[in-house]
Amino acid sequence: MKVYKFGGASVKDAEGVKNVALVLETQGFEKCLLVVSAMGKTTNALEKVVEFYFKKQDYQAEIELIKKNHIDIAKGLFSENHPVFGEISLFFDDIDSFLRRNKSPNYNFVYDQVVSCGEMISSKILSEYLNDIQFFNHWLDARDYIKTDSNYREGIVNWQETEQNISKLDKINCYVTQGFIGSESNNFTVTLGREGSDYTAAIFAYCLNADEMTIWKDVPGVMTGDPRKFENVELLSHISYEEAIEMAYYGASVIHPKTLQPLKQKNIPFFVKSFVEPKKPGTKVGNSEENELIESYILKENQTLLNVETRDFSFIAEDHMSLIFTLLAKYKIKVSLMQNSAISLALCLEDKFGNVNQLNEELQQSFITQMTKNVSLFTVRNAELEKLDQFYKDKKVLLEQIAKKTFQMVTM
């Protein structure tokens, strides 16, 4: 069985949905499972609904705008009396009904119940369209299969229960399901982290013992840098699981960091291909002797540099580190780069949940801190170290680090 993941850019409008069918024609639509993201910028729009809800602003007007966009997309795919229009309306009625009834002040809980609807709607539209053009499939609710804990917005998968559920699927059929979402023991929706649809595809591939998995992107494959940010980048045709994991860890946006480990465990070949040019080979990730260790560039923006010093000029010791990392875990803040000296610790942080100010305030009870927001972390993998001077040009460097052939700098 094959697993295909289509991101939001591939289904952003009616023509995109039709193009998915063209991609499937080139690949063969049999014994496969499709994982689909929310359409276009729907996730951002639904995040705005949640924001307005908590600010007691007119979130219902925002819901109507998102609903209209999906209805307009559906009009380009279906006849006017198609039952899918009723399905779309029901999903949006559910959002409004949930927010009217909700009593929970937990932002992350509300976020997951609302934002997850984007995937539900897009997968229903795609499934119905494919059935209409004779690409027969079964629509699955991923929440019935992927079970997690109650860590809303960053759900941790219960692998044993999830594998039991998914292994029951009949592998001779085709399926369409949602990325990004699972459910906890009370069947409330839990999302798997932003951009988590790649991870969903890997979960299904692992549990189905898939023959291969492909992520369809708007780029030719894994490049040596984001072509929107770097010039003269090239396609990597073969890379190892290990290299792909390293690239994802450092922030390469083409692969979600959690995606690769499940595939590596079962040696499932993984491809990144273009939905614009589906016949081209793209990038293969696997146990490859042809691993291309070419200099690659990764830029993570909107980072925060936090310097932490002891108040009494004592060494940064194990008890200090324990306290600092306990607080980082508490506020769900990821460390992108760390460097310590005798009396200070420099941390380049990724603050997905907007908690860095609270972290800083709590740290200041025990330490002296200095915080610089909106910095960038620039990473060079497989760096040609003799040419490092070129990377300093026109940059204000706040921190730098070299580990083997990986060079990193934090810049303004």
| Side-chain half-sphere CA neighbours of 39 within 13 A | 25
Q: What is the pLDDT along the chain (412 residues), one digit of tens a residue?
A: 999 999 999 999 999 999 999 999 999 889 999 999 999 999 999 999 999 999 999 999 999 999 999 999 999 999 999 999 999 999 999 999 999 999 999 999 999 999 999 999 999 999 999 999 999 999 999 999 999 999 999 999 999 999 999 999 999 999 999 999 999 999 999 999 877 899 999 999 999 999 999 999 999 999 999 888 888 899 999 998 888 888 888 888 777 778 999 999 999 999 999 999 999 999 999 886 666 778 999 999 999 999 999 998 889 989 999 999 999 999 999 999 999 988 899 999 999 899 999 999 999 999 999 999 999 999 999 888 888 888 888 889 999 999 888 999 999 8
Neighbours of 211 (CB within 10 A): 13
pTM value surpassing 0.85: yes
The pLDDT score that the predictor gives to residue 395 is 86
| SS3 labels along the chain | CEEEEECHHHHCCHHHHHHHHHHHHHHCCCCEEEEECCCCCHHHHHHHHHHHHHCCCCHHHHHHHHHHHHHHHHHCCCCCCCCHHHHHHHHHHHHHHHHHHCCCCCHHHHHHHHHCHHHHHHHHHHHHHHHHCCCCCEECCHHHCCEECCCCCCCCECHHHHHHHHCCCCCCCCEEEECCEEECCCCCEEECCCCCHHHHHHHHHHHHCCCEEEEEECCCCCECCCCCCCCCCCECCEEEHHHHHHHHHHCCCCCCCCCHHHHHHCCCCEEEEECCCCCCCCEEEECCCCCCCCCEEEEEEEEEEEEEEECCCCCCCHHHHHHHHHHHHHCCCEEEEEEECCCEEEEEEECCCCCHHHHHHHHCCCEEEEEEEEEEEEEEECCCHHHHHHHHCCCCEEEEEEECCEEEEEEC
The pLDDT score that the predictor gives to residue 246 is 86
| Side-chain half-sphere CA neighbours of 250 within 13 A | 24
Burial (CB count <10 Å: 0-12, 13-18, 19+), residue 344: middle
Binding residues for ATP: 5-8, 228
* Residues of each domain in the chain carrying CATH 3.40.1160.10: 2-217
Binding residues for substrate: 43, 119
The pLDDT score that the predictor gives to residue 251 is 84
The pLDDT score that the predictor gives to residue 120 is 98
The pLDDT score that the predictor gives to residue 289 is 63
The pLDDT score that the predictor gives to residue 245 is 86
11 backbone φψ class: left, alpha, beta (φ>0; ψ -120 to 50): alpha
Q: Say which CATH superfamily domain 2-217 falls into.
A: Acetylglutamate kinase-like (3.40.1160.10)
The pLDDT score that the predictor gives to residue 28 is 86
Binding residues: 5-8, 43, 119, 228
What is the CATH code of the structural domain delimited by 296-411? Answer: 3.30.2130.10
298-to-154, 257, 301, 304, 388 alpha-carbon distances in Å: 24, 14, 10, 17, 15
* Residues of each domain in the chain carrying CATH 3.30.2130.10: 296-411
The pLDDT score that the predictor gives to residue 288 is 64
4-to-40, 197, 326, 394 alpha-carbon distances in Å: 18, 11, 38, 42
The pLDDT score that the predictor gives to residue 290 is 62
The pLDDT score that the predictor gives to residue 386 is 81
